[in-house]
Structure 1
């Protein structure tokens, strides 16, 4: 099975440092006086059945001025810069749809039930020690890229340390399975375009391409991170895809699934031949529980999905709550009815009492004579 494991390392400016583990995709080791943390990694995995491509962008914070990525890959990889607009397009496509949902009776937050809470450096150049080979080196914008082979994790660590990359012993042990499988490595150093500024915010995305038999997203080294991590994963394939398990994090949540309709731009170029896009979000509250890489598989159906966020609104008529109008209108109707009945009763003529008819005189027979 083919996999890609991604580890992020910071470039050491001094000779002695104390490792600080805080990275969503592996180990982060700033220099003694600097720090950096990865708050979110957003990646696109494209797989066409023969080849895998990964475009990854990290959002970082801290005060470090240089950083480096060390990426084990199962086969020889090519590295290029990616267009940052790719992620802007993906964010726009997969954003939740907002729809209004009206309610008649007031809820918390509606008048009169308003409560207090209404919110929602130099390139690598030293000679490699035995067990490490330098396949090539490229300069890609702000990146210095060195492609390496290694048959010994200790030798790999020695080369990295000699060339300014600090490889902590724990990460070296974590890389041993990939050294045993004779994977290759891409060492990438990044510095801001303006000297003296710090690495912060969304970094330039990097695009790797290599042969792959099965799609896998790298997460195994993330167990070294010390802070909770957030992953946003976009998967381009012929069909809808999903992670096969949680690998120690929360349940992956599908945010979007559907076919790409873009005909131009970086997304259309990347998605050619893999028209189905699946977006997955996952949280890792305790990265030490991560057990492996994300194995990606096809779902049972290609059913489309888009997240819907309902904005609850009180139904109104001309700016007045409908329930209030109903109550006021009902009361007004009752009062009006009562008044009309009273007026009608007041205007009804009073009939005089019937005349008293005296009884007819009683006729008595004459008894005289």
Structure 2
């Protein structure tokens, strides 16, 4: 499904539309950065949220489909605290999609330091710079909205002034920003290999406020893996139902990261397909909150042995069904001939 992913780049979270008008195509996470005069088309976005340290540190991995004719591509990612940036694995999303598919029924019939108070136009501090193959990820904190916008312009990012109030809100809450930029020399077309942002937080969160200036948004798929059910909470979410809720077992998980989480007891996998009718309603971020009262709704995942047995049994079921059909058909023909013979006699 995602094995055609191209080089490492911008998975991450909220691109923020900090671009020159017309330079970006909005998606559920925000937008991708390209220079004025170029076009970019964002496609499917998929996020995987789990705990690196339960209740203390979140692990956020994302996969983004995008097409543009320029290699000059970038994204801005807000997080509540300073993140560590590492490489992700596109095949992990194949595994999540497979695991979130319910097995067949037996009857065959989902605080940090405050950066506010800086003088107007104050530039942010650069906390870290991480180079991952074709991607450079720079983490910044502090300053004010004007200073952040100035830093972005100085470092080759085109900014959009109407997003500065939202940047100011994030800064007032002590959030950091990660500027992820391509450093390759080829146009981008396909799925970007994901990166992982790991950061301190007391609740699983998916930043989305910077998408509020988008004209329209696509659908975003969010996977969560935890000890119990987690429900998406935000003022713009209502009546959401999980696309899948599966209880995983170690026998059947083919990914080291997922297998390690399941071994720790984080085996409740949910899948959410979320869409936003009006981006202006994105006044708060998406929080994935515990809902232990409906834990019993999880479907037990089939073990690998059970899946193998099903695959091995399926051909025999087909053969036996065919043979039974032949027997029934032959019996019907024989009965019909007997009736005709009786009628003649």
| TM-score (structure 1 length as normaliser) | 0.68
2:78–2:175 contact (8 Å) kept in structure 1: yes
Structure 1 residue 146 displacement after superposition: 1.3
Q: How does 1:150-189 map to 2 (within 5 A)?
A: 150-189=142-181
1:253–1:280 contact (8 Å) kept in structure 2: yes
Unpaired stretches in structure 2, ≥5 consecutive residues: 1-11, 110-120, 303-317
Structure 2: how far apart are the matches of 1:227 and 1:142? Answer: 29
Instruction: Name the counterpart of 2:70.
Output: 64
Q: How does 1:236-275 map to 2 (within 5 A)?
A: 236-244=225-233, 247-248=236-237, 251-261=240-250, 262=253, 265-269=256-260, 273=264, 275=266
Instruction: Name the counterpart of 1:352.
Output: none
Q: Does 1:340 align with 2:342?
A: yes
Structure 1: how far apart are the matches of 2:256 and 2:87? Answer: 15
Residues 272 and 341 of structure 1: CA distance in aligned 2, closer, same or farther (over 3 Å): closer
Structure 2: how far apart are the matches of 1:287 and 1:271? Answer: 37
How many residue pairs end up in the alignment? Answer: 300
2:134–2:183 contact (8 Å) kept in structure 1: yes
Structure 1 residue 226 displacement after superposition: 3.6
1:60–1:203 contact (8 Å) kept in structure 2: yes
Structure 1: how far apart are the matches of 2:104 and 2:70? Answer: 39
Structure 1 residue 157 displacement after superposition: 0.7
Structure 1 residue 203 displacement after superposition: 0.7
2:35–2:72 contact (8 Å) kept in structure 1: no
Q: Which moved more, 1:88-97 or 1:143-152?
A: 88-97
Q: Does 1:30 align with 2:19?
A: no
Structure 1: how far apart are the matches of 2:327 and 2:160? Answer: 65
| TM-score (structure 2 length as normaliser) | 0.72
Which is higher, the Rg of structure 1 or of structure 2?
1
Unpaired stretches in structure 1, ≥5 consecutive residues: 104-128, 344-369
Across the aligned residues of Structure 1 and Structure 2, the Cα RMSD in angstroms comes to 3.7
Instruction: Name the counterpart of 2:310.
Output: none
Structure 2: how far apart are the matches of 1:102 and 1:51? Answer: 42
Instruction: Name the counterpart of 1:91.
Output: 97
Structure 2: how far apart are the matches of 1:10 and 1:280? Answer: 26
Structure 1: how far apart are the matches of 2:194 and 2:212? Answer: 23
1:21–1:224 contact (8 Å) kept in structure 2: no
Structure 2: how far apart are the matches of 1:307 and 1:231? Answer: 24
Pick one of 8, 31, 36 that aligns with 2:15: 8
Instruction: Name the counterpart of 1:209.
Output: 198
